[in-house]
Amino acid sequence: MTESKSITAQQYNCDILIIGAGASGLSLALKLAPHAKVNVLSKGKLSEGSTFYAQGGVAAVFSESDSVDSHVDDTLIAGAGLCDEEAVRFTVSNAKESMQWLIDTGVNFDTEVDKEGNTQFHLTREGGHSHRRILHAADATGREIENTLLNAVKKHKNITLMEGFNAIDLITSRKLNLPANRVLGAYVWNRNEERVETIKAHFITLATGGASKVYQYTSNPDVSSGDGIALAWRSGCRIANMEFNQFHPTCLFHADAKNFLLTEALRGEGAHLLRPDGTRFMPDFDEREELAPRDIVARAIDYEMKRLGADCMYLDISHKPKEFIVKHFPTIYRRCLSLGIDITHQPMPIVPAAHYTCGGVMIDHHGQTDIDGLYAIGEVTYTGLHGANRMASNSLLECIVYAHACAKDIINRIPFYQERKFADIPAWDDSQVEDSDEEVVIQHNWHELRLFMWDYVGIVRTDKRLERALRRVQMLQQEINEYYSNFKVGNNLLELRNLVQVAELIIRSAMSRKESRGLHYNLDYPEQIDNPKPTILCPQND
| Cα 513 to Cα 523: distance, rounded to the nearest angstrom | 12
Question: Which sequence positions are flagged as catalytic?
Answer: 294
User: Taking the mean position of all CA atoms in its chain, how far away is CA 470?
Assistant: 23
pLDDT digits (tens, 9 = 90+) for 309-351: 999 999 999 999 999 999 999 999 999 999 999 999 999 999 9
Number of domains into which the chain is organized: 3
For residue 3, the model assigns a pLDDT of: 43
Query: Does residue 445 form part of some domain?
Result: yes
CATH number for position 473: 1.20.58.100
For residue 2, the model assigns a pLDDT of: 38
Identify whether residues 94 and 225 lie together within a single domain: yes
Identify whether residues 206 and 292 lie together within a single domain: no
Identify whether residues 144 and 206 lie together within a single domain: yes
For residue 421, the model assigns a pLDDT of: 86
pLDDT at 423 over 70: yes
Identify whether residues 369 and 351 lie together within a single domain: no
Q: Is 413 left (phi over 0), alpha (psi -120 to 50) or beta?
A: alpha
Query: Does residue 297 form part of some domain?
Result: yes
For residue 5, the model assigns a pLDDT of: 41
Query: Does residue 188 form part of some domain?
Result: yes
Beta strand 159-163 with 38-42: parallel, antiparallel or unpaired? parallel
**112-121, 139-148, 235-244, 390-399: which has the highest mean pLDDT?**
235-244
More confident residue, 441 or 203: 203
Q: For the chain, what percent of residues have pLDDT higher than 90?
A: 74
Identify whether residues 295 and 392 lie together within a single domain: no
Query: Does residue 74 form part of some domain?
Result: yes
For residue 436, the model assigns a pLDDT of: 67
Domain interval for residue 65: 11-243+358-417
CATH number for position 172: 3.50.50.60
Q: Residues 449-469: what's their mean pLDDT?
A: 94
Identify whether residues 400 and 339 lie together within a single domain: no
pTM: 0.90
Beta strand 11-19 with 195-206: parallel, antiparallel or unpaired? parallel
CATH number for position 341: 3.90.700.10
For residue 542, the model assigns a pLDDT of: 43
Mean pLDDT, rounded, of the chain: 92
pLDDT digits (tens, 9 = 90+) for 95-134: 999 999 999 999 999 998 888 888 899 998 887 899 999 9
Q: Which of 385, 417, 449 is the last residue of a domain?
A: 417
Identify whether residues 80 and 184 lie together within a single domain: yes
For residue 437, the model assigns a pLDDT of: 64
First-last CA distance in the chain: 18
Identify whether residues 327 and 408 lie together within a single domain: no
Identify whether residues 267 and 333 lie together within a single domain: yes
Burial of 353 (0-12, 13-18, 19+ CB in 10 A): buried
For residue 8, the model assigns a pLDDT of: 46
Burial of 266 (0-12, 13-18, 19+ CB in 10 A): buried
Query: Does residue 166 form part of some domain?
Result: yes
Q: For the chain, what percent of residues have pLDDT higher than 70?
A: 96
Beta strand 195-206 with 374-376: parallel, antiparallel or unpaired? parallel
Query: Does residue 425 form part of some domain?
Result: no
Query: Does residue 433 form part of some domain?
Result: no
Identify whether residues 266 and 398 lie together within a single domain: no
For residue 428, the model assigns a pLDDT of: 86
